Structure 1
Amino acid sequence: MDKVRRILVHVCKDRAASQRAQFVQSITGHFMDGGDDEVEVNCSLEKNQFILFRGDKGQGIPLKRPAFCPIKHLSAREAAAIPLDVQQRGVDVGVAILLQTANQRVLLTRRAKELRIFPNVWVPPGGHVEPDET
């Protein structure tokens, strides 16, 4: 079996060197002053890093943080309670599937109550993406 590789999200602003996205960071807010929920980005995959960066207006892919994002609603006290090893692990490239029915219903799953991070939170189904699945 092949060794599983982590592909971490990196962000690059204003042509500076890319930096690893932080677990409690708003990716959209990184690019916009004031922490807006939508931004247009470009991306590349280099040296096992998925890099998001601002491109020319109209040339990128819209990236929007949903209103129910747990990070958006995280208080300073809750963020401080996240174990340091989790805060420092970075953000893995992942995938979420949004399934919407004809009558506008969306499929969500609920995280287990026993989880350390975001227990009992409703989220879209998803998970990690292996490099050969992209």
Structure 2
Amino acid sequence: MVTLEQAKEYLTGQGITIPDFVLQALVDQANSIQDCLDAHYSASTALLIQVYLLALMGLGQGDKYISSQTAPNGASRSFRFQSFSDRWKGALSLLRGLDKHGCATALIPADPTAAPAFAGIWIAKGGCMCNGDR
């Protein structure tokens, strides 16, 4: 099972910051698939699947990540905004590459980068929008 501290350390390393109370809810979700993971994977692979799932869930929280930091003490932090679509697809690929048994599939958020599908028909009947007189 992934702990809150492990999740926070991993996500922070990826430049994803999530408030603890939200992160705890995400960790609970990731841990809900533990039985399936235990049945199919080693402990280390299960942990990786869970943190990659957390990364996908966390990416939905925003698209800003830390690109560089400096300290003693010329404190500086730079952020970069990479294509959300690229980050999403990369994290999803990592997760699906490991989770061959689909343990995390039901928990993967809907793809926010997918274009919505629209289908419809427009029917109009001719008429006159005249100003009273004809």
Q: Which has the higher strand share?
A: 1
Same fold (TM over 0.5): no
Q: TM-score, normalised by structure 1?
A: 0.23
**Highest Rg: 1 or 2?**
2
Q: TM-score, normalised by structure 2?
A: 0.23
